């Protein structure tokens, strides 16, 4: 039986391990904590009956649960990522469990100074009476994606101990550095050997996603000229002022806080510098590929326009594509979406097929030849101290994984 207590216990054990990734690191995995978690998962996979268990030097884990049917069935993969976001501290994570949530505001810290309020997060009220895993107000929770890891582990453990449930060969994959856009970079699709896969890396209960942003990262370097402000007229080039001017030339409507659904954006993630030199970091996102190209072109045009007013090369932009919309690769194999939707429905949940306002390992993997849509974990408010996840939603995600392999084995 998939018990609430066993699910919560496994999640908390994984969540307490600091496995944040680091954008400034050039290693893979980018942090040693991810390897710490990987070694624990390696032992757990063996304990729950997996075979072909491996951990490579880059932090990629693969394992199998053998088929228990004699007729041909597809080999299905389930993938989650080891790392948590660098956006909020992942050190000394101390999850709390709120049993039978009463529908009121939740004090995350003992003093009650950090509150998870229903007025700010009205979706809390959808989970009255359920058991919520929350933070202590000082760190993120790590449900993105330790909930996915937990759900895959619990599903495989349940299947191994219930041989009466038919299933084909199952492949399990845990990847490093998804949060910094590198999760699938060194993933060996051929070794994984699945016909198709699902990342278990979505949000609230019911979500099923096969569309994601086209994504690019942009670094803008601005070279200024510092002169004493008392004698600066006609001489000073203020790199910080140019940064402000550049940002103001982008449409205010196309910022994350002003967009939703299929609407794309320019997101300024970092700005730093002095009069002499400044740097701006952006991410560009759009579901539509043509609009994605237009966004990159607009930033290039702004750079050219600014350089007309200053010495050549004052503003330099470096653009790097990160991933593309997996929809193009999923549509030819849409039956895997139908399969997941049926599995969700049979778990007593209404499928919510929506575009991802972000990306997953599945976007890259789909372009590498492994079609990989995304299913929910049940979490909310990822990457921050107000993150929470209902354990009952995790329970349903586990049921969905079990249903996917069961349905696929009898079709």
The residues carrying an active-site annotation are: 83, 178
Contacts of 269 (CB under 8 A, 6+ apart): 281, 282, 283
Helix (H, G, I), strand (E, B) or coil at 360: coil
> Taking a C-beta distance cutoff of 8 angstroms, is the pair 314, 222 a contact?
yes
Contacts of 272 (CB under 8 A, 6+ apart): 278, 279
d(CA 169, CA 221): 50
> Taking a C-beta distance cutoff of 8 angstroms, is the pair 97, 32 a contact?
no
d(CA 310, CA 191): 53
> Taking a C-beta distance cutoff of 8 angstroms, is the pair 328, 364 a contact?
no
What are the φ/ψ torsions at residue 110 (nearest 5 degrees)?
A: -60, -35
d(CA 311, CA 237): 9
DSSP-assigned states of every residue in 10-52? HHHHHHTS--B--TT--SSSSSHHHHHHHHHHHHHHHHTT-EE
DSSP-assigned states of every residue in 198-264? EEE---STTEEE----EEEEEEEEEE-B---GGG-TTT-B-HHHHHHHHHHTS-GGGSGGG--TT--
| Residue positions counted in the chain | 411
Task: List the structure tokens of 153.
Answer: 């582990």
């Amino acid at each position: 039986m998939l018990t609430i207590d066993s699910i919560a216990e496994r999640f908390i054990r994984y969540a307490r391990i600091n496995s944040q990734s680091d954008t400034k690191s050039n290693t893979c995995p980018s942090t040693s904590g991810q390897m710490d978690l990987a070694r624990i998962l390696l032992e757990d996979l063996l304990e729950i009956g997996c075979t072909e268990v491996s951990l490579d030097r880059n932090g990629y884990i693969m394992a199998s649960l053998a088929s228990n049917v004699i007729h041909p069935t597809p080999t299905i993969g389930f993938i989650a990522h080891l790392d948590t976001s660098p956006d909020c501290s992942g050190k000394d994570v101390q999850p709390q469990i709120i049993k039978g949530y009463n529908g009121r505001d939740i004090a995350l810290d003992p003093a009650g100074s950090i509150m998870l309020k229903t007025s700010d997060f009205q979706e809390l009220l959808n989970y009255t009476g359920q058991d919520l895993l929350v933070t202590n107000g000082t760190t993120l929770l790590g449900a993105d994606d330790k909930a996915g890891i937990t759900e895959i582990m619990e599903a495989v453990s349940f299947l191994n101990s219930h041989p009466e449930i038919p299933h084909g060969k199952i492949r399990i994959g845990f990847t490093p550095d998804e949060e910094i856009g590198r999760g699938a970079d060194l993933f060996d699709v051929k070794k994984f050997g699945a016909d198709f896969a699902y990342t278990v890396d979505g949000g609230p209960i019911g979500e099923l996603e096969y569309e994601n942003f086209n994504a690019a990262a942009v670094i803008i370097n601005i070279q200024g000229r510092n002169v004493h402000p008392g004698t600066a007229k006609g001489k000073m080039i203020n790199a910080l002022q140019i940064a402000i001017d550049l940002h103001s030339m982008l449409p205010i409507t196309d910022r994350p806080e002003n967009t939703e659904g299929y609407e794309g954006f320019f997101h300024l993630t970092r700005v730093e510098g002095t009069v002499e030199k400044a740097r701006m970091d952006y991410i560009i996102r759009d579901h539509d590929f043509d609009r994605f190209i237009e966004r990159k072109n607009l930033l290039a045009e702004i750079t050219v326009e600014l350089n007309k007013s200053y010495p050549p090369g004052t503003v330099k932009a470096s653009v790097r594509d990160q991933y593309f919309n997996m929809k193009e690769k999923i549509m030819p194999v849409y039956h895997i979406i139908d399969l997941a939707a049926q599995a969700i429905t049979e778990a007593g949940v209404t499928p919510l097929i929506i575009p991802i306002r972000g990306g997953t390992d599945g976007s890259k993997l789909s372009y590498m030849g492994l079609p990989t849509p995304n299913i929910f974990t049940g979490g909310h408010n990822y990457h921050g101290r107000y993150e929470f996840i209902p354990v009952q939603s995790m329970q349903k995600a586990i049921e969905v994984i079990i249903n996917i392999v069961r349905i696929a084995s009898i079709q």
